[in-house]
Structure 1
Amino acid sequence: MDDRPLETGARGRADVRADVRADVPADADVHAVVRRLADVLEPPPVWCGPDEAEIHDVVIAEPGEALDGAAGALVLAVGARGAEAVDMVAAAAEAGAGALAVRVGGDGLPEAVRAAAEAAPIAVIGLPRGLRWDRAEAEVRAVLAAPAGEFAPSRGGDLFSLAQTVATLTQGLVSLEDGAHRVLAYAGPVDEADELRRATILGRSCPEPYLALLRRLGVHQRVRAGDEVVTVDEQPDLGARRRLVIGINAGRRPLGTIWVQEGARPLAEHAPQMLRGAARIAAVQLVDHYFQGDPGARLASREELSHGLLTGRFDAAALAAHLGIDPAAGADVVAVDLREPGEDGDAVRADARRAEAAGIVSVHVAAHRENALVAQACGQIYAVLPTPTTAAPPPPAPSSPYEDETPLVRWADELVVTLRRLTGTRVQAVLAGRAERLADVPAVKLRGHRALQLLARTPETTVGTHTRLAPALLIRDTLELLDRSPRLRFPAVAALLTRDRDQGTDLARSLLLYLDAFGDVTAVAKRLNVHPNTLRYRVRRAVALTGLDLDDPEHRLAATLQLRLDLDARDLTDPAFPGA
C-alpha cells in the first residue's frame, strides 16, 4: 500500500474548545481524524490502511508497553522507530485499536510499517517530526468531541438565523462551517451563488481542490491564529468568486469558520467588523451545540440568563461566572427602541421584527466588545457591554462629562443608522450609562428605559445619552412626585390655567415658554406667532393675576414646575423636555 495523503469525501467532525473532556461519548472514523490533522499540521500527515474503523479515544504508549484498554482507540506510539514501530503496529491491531500514529520524516511511512499495517490490518498515521504528542492528542480529542449528526440542519436554526443576519449586514452570501469544513448553516440569494458555493452546499462540505488551495495559501493557519479576516481572491478556474473568511475560535481552540462570498454587488465596507462580531457569537453557539444537547434549548437558556442579569432576577455573580464575565467588572448599557408603529396591532409580527433586530444588535455589539450580552425587555433591546478589567493606571479625567462617551456614541449611531435602513422605522438608542458592578445593571437599564421614553419627543435624534438627558429626567421625575402629592402646589399659578380655559386665553402657556426662554421675548413671540408686544402683555397680565415675582428665582422655579405639571407638558407639541 502507498502512503495516502488527504482525499476527497472525508467525513469530518468539528473542533471544540481546549478543555474537551476525555469521557465525552463520541466516535470518529480514521479519515475524519486525518482530515482534521491535515488542516492544522504542516506538513500534513500521511496514512495507510483501512479507513472505516471508528475511533473513540486516544491512548499514548511507548514500545513494549501493554496496550490494555486500547480497543477502539488511536494509539500514539511515542518513541517508536524502526522495528519497534513495526512491533507496535501488530500489538495495536491485536489489542483492537482503531489506528496507530507514528512519527515520520520526509520519506513517509517506512515500507516495513506499511506492510505490517496491511497484514494486521490496521490504519497507521504518519505524523510530521517535531509535532508535540500532547498537541496531537488534543487535536484528535477535538475531533472526537463532536458526535455524529450534531449539526443536522434541523437542529441548527440559531446558526441559520446568524447566517442570515451576517448576509444582511455584509451584502454577501454566507456559510458557517465546522472544523472539518462541513456546512452548518448558510444564507444569501441563491441566484448569486458561484459554482464553488453550490457544490459546497449540495455536498454539505467544501470540495477538496479548494481546500488544497487554502492549505497552500496558509488560510487555515491564519484564521486559527486569532480574529483576522482573510481575503481569498477570485479563483475562476475553481468557479470561486472573491471571499472573506474568519475563524470561529474559543480561546486557542478553533471551532470552525464563517465565509462570505461576494455576490452581484461589492461587500459592505464594514463587512470585516461584522464578521468579527459574528464569529464571537458563533463561538458561543457552537460550544452550546457541542456540550449541552439540544442547541435551541441551550441558546434560549443563555438568553434567559442575560435577561435575568438585565432585570436583576438572578444573582449577578453567579450569572457572571456562568456567562464568563468578571463579576467585578463594570458594564456600559445601551438601550434601543425600534419605534415600531403600533397601529397594526400584530404583536407576533412585532416580536419577530424585534428578534431580527436583536440579532443585528448582537453582531454589532460583539464586533465592538467581547463578552457583550443582548437581551430584550419592555419591548426594547438592551446591550450590556462589560468593560475590561486591567491593572493599567486609570486614564486622565475627561475635560467634559461627555468626552469619554464619544466612542460609544459613535458606535451606537452607526448601529441606529443600520437598523433604520433595515427596519424602515425611526430607531433610537440611549447610552444609559455605566454600571460600576454587574449587580448595578438593572438600575442602569431602568434609566435607559426612561430615557428612551423621553427621547421619543425628538424622533429626529438617533442617539441620546443619560448624561445629557439627566436634567430633563430630573424634571420629569420631580413632576411625577408632584403629581402624586396634590398638597404640593402653587395655587395662584394653578388658578391661571383654570382662567385660561374659562376665558379662552393663553396666559399660562405664554408664561411657561417665556420662563423657559430666559425672557427672550423675540424668540417666544416668533414661536407663538404673535407680536412681541402681545407676549409682553400676556406676561404682565399673568404676573398680575398670580402675584409672581419674576426677580425671585424660587418664584420662577415654582411657577415653571406648576405650569408644566398643570399643562401636562409631556403631551405638548412643543417638547418641554428637550432631547439630546
Structure 2
Amino acid sequence: MSYTEAPIGDGTSEELFTLCTALAAVTGGSVAVEDLDRRVLAYSSLPGQRIDDLRRRGILDRQVPDEPRQLRQYRTVLDATGVVPLPPLADDELPRLAVAIRAGDLSLGTLWAIEGPRGLDETVERALTEGAKLAALHMLRRRSAAELQLQARQDALRSALCGTGIPEARFHLGLSERPRFSLLGLAPLHVAGHEPLPVIRLGMSAVGHFAAVHPEGAVTTLGRTVYVLVPHLSTAAVRRLAEQAVTALSRPRTVPVRCAVSQSDVDLDRLSTLRTDVDGILRVTTSDPAAPPVAGLKDTHARVLLNHIGDVLTREHALQHPGIALMLEHDQQHETFYAQSLLAWLNAIGNIGQAADALGIHPNTLKYRLKRARQLFGLDLDHPDDRLSCWLQLRLST
C-alpha cells in the first residue's frame, strides 16, 4: 500500500480521511489526525501536497516515531488553545502547523498540517481550527459506551478533587455512602536534561493499568498530576498497588514515575484535602532523585512541612527575619559567607568543631564569623526560638 492510499475498515472513520484531504487543499501540505498516543488515525491523499519523510514514515507505520524533541512539541500543542506553528526538527523536515483536538476540556488528539506555500494566514488558521472541531465530533462518535462511562467517572473524580459534585461523584464512581478509600498521585520525576513524560500519556497508561489490577478504582488527570481513587483496600494493599503501578508505568519510560499515597478516609468530602497532602508529597519526591518512588506523608513529613513554611514566608514578607534578609543581601553584595557559616553552625547544633569541618575552615574563623554576624545583623542566637527562626529562613533561602 502506498502512503497516498486511505485504508477503510480499520477502525478509523472514513470521514476523517475526507476531512484531512479537504484541509490539505486549503493548506497546501499533507494533513494528519493523531490520537494521544501519536497513532496516525487518518491522513490526506491530495496529489501534489507538500510532504516529507517523517510524515511518510508515520503514515506507513501508522505511528509517529518517538523522539524527545517531538514530545516537547506535542506538549506545546496540547497546552495551547489555537493553531501552533512549529519549526522543523531536522534538515530533511518541513515546518508544521498543529492544533489540539478537544471535546470541551477532554483532549482527544492532535491535527497536524505540513506548512504550505501560503503559510499560516487567516484562512488556513480558520480551516485548521474548524477542522479540529469536526475531527473531535468524528472521534467522539466512534467512542464506545464503555469509554463514555469511563470518561464520566474521570470527570466525577476530577470534580470531587476540586471539592464539588460529591453526590454525583459517589454515584458515578459506584461508591457506598461511607466507603474507606485512599488517594494516589502519580507524576514523573524531574530530571535535568530530560523532557518529562506528558501527563496525558501517563494518565492514559494509568487508566489501562488500574482497569486491569483494580477495576473499582477511578483515574483522572488534573494539572500535572494523575490521581487514582482506590476504594475498599487495606493500607498495606494500597501501598502494594502503588508500588506495582510505579514499576509498570516507569518501565518503558526514560524518566521514572513517582507515587504519593494519602492516608485512608471514609468521608468523600475530604478528598480535596487528601489531594493537597498528595500534592505536597509529590512536590518533594518529584524534585529529588534520591526520594523513595512511593511515599506517604510519614516518609516526607519534614520536607513537606518546610515547603509549607517556605510558602508562607514567601507570601508574608513581614514574617521574614529582618536580620537574615540583611545577611543574605550582605553576602551577595560583598561576597562574604555569614549565611553559610551560621547555617552550618545551626545544623551542627552549636558544635563549632563539626561546623568548621563541614565548611573546611578553622574553628577560630567560624567563631569570628558568628560574632560578626551577631554584631552586623542584630541576631540573638542564645534563645532556641530565635535559633529556630534563623535556621528556618536560612534553610529555605540557601
TM-score by length of 2: 0.56
Does 2:301 align with 1:451?
no
Give per-residue Cα distances to partners, 1:256-311, cap 9 Å, x unaligned. Answer: xxxxxxxxxxxxxxxxxxxxxxxxxxxxxxxxxxxx96443333223222322333
Identity %: 25
Partner of 1:557: 388
Partner of 1:374: 219
Partner of 2:154: 303
Compared with structure 1, are the counterparts of its residues 554 and 331 closer, same or farther at alpha carbon in structure 2 (3 Å cutoff)? same
Compared with structure 1, are the counterparts of its residues 466 and 485 closer, same or farther at alpha carbon in structure 2 (3 Å cutoff)? same
Structure 1 counterpart SS, 2:340: helix
Query: Which of the residues 463, 484, 488 maps onto 2:294?
Result: 463
Asked whether the 8 Å contact 1:332–1:386 carries over to 2, the reply is yes
Partner of 1:357: 205
TM-score by length of 1: 0.40
Shift of 1:556: 0.7
Asked whether the 8 Å contact 1:334–1:433 carries over to 2, the reply is no
Most deviating of 461-470 and 352-361: 352-361
Shift of 1:453: 1.2
Partner Cα distance (1:324, 1:351) in 2: 26
Partner of 2:340: 509
Shift of 1:521: 4.6
- Higher CA-based Rg: 1
Structure 2 counterpart SS, 1:505: coil
Partner of 2:247: 417
Give per-residue Cα distances to partners, 1:125-166, cap 9 Å, x unaligned. Answer: xxxxxxxxxxxxxxxxxxxxxxxxxxx9849xxxxx9xxxxx
Does 2:136 align with 1:318?
no
Compared with structure 1, are the counterparts of its residues 545 and 421 closer, same or farther at alpha carbon in structure 2 (3 Å cutoff)? same
Asked whether the 8 Å contact 1:510–1:535 carries over to 2, the reply is yes
Structure 2 counterpart SS, 1:332: strand
Compared with structure 1, are the counterparts of its residues 425 and 324 closer, same or farther at alpha carbon in structure 2 (3 Å cutoff)? same
Partner Cα distance (1:361, 1:293) in 2: 19
- What is the aligned-residue RMSD (CA, Å)? 3.4
Q: How many correspondences in the alignment?
A: 260
Partner of 2:189: 339
Partner Cα distance (1:362, 1:524) in 2: 49
Structure 2 counterpart SS, 1:435: coil
Compared with structure 1, are the counterparts of its residues 417 and 542 closer, same or farther at alpha carbon in structure 2 (3 Å cutoff)? farther
Structure with the larger helix share: 2
Asked whether the 8 Å contact 1:335–1:429 carries over to 2, the reply is yes
Uncovered stretches (5+) of structure 1, i.e. residues with no partner = 1-151, 156-160, 162-291, 389-403, 570-580
Query: Which of the residues 416, 429, 432 maps onto 2:259?
Result: 429
Asked whether the 8 Å contact 1:364–1:415 carries over to 2, the reply is no
Shift of 1:452: 0.9
Compared with structure 1, are the counterparts of its residues 409 and 517 closer, same or farther at alpha carbon in structure 2 (3 Å cutoff)? farther
Compared with structure 1, are the counterparts of its residues 298 and 406 closer, same or farther at alpha carbon in structure 2 (3 Å cutoff)? closer
Compared with structure 1, are the counterparts of its residues 433 and 485 closer, same or farther at alpha carbon in structure 2 (3 Å cutoff)? same
Shift of 1:374: 1.6
Shift of 1:557: 1.7
Shift of 1:517: 3.6
Instruction: Give the residue type in structure 2 aligned to 1:511.
Output: L
Structure 2 counterpart SS, 1:443: helix
Query: Which of the residues 317, 334, 356 maps onto 1:486?
Result: 317
> Map of 1:223-238 to 2, 5 A cutoff?
none
Shift of 1:459: 1.4
Query: Which of the residues 307, 311, 327 maps onto 2:177?
Result: 327
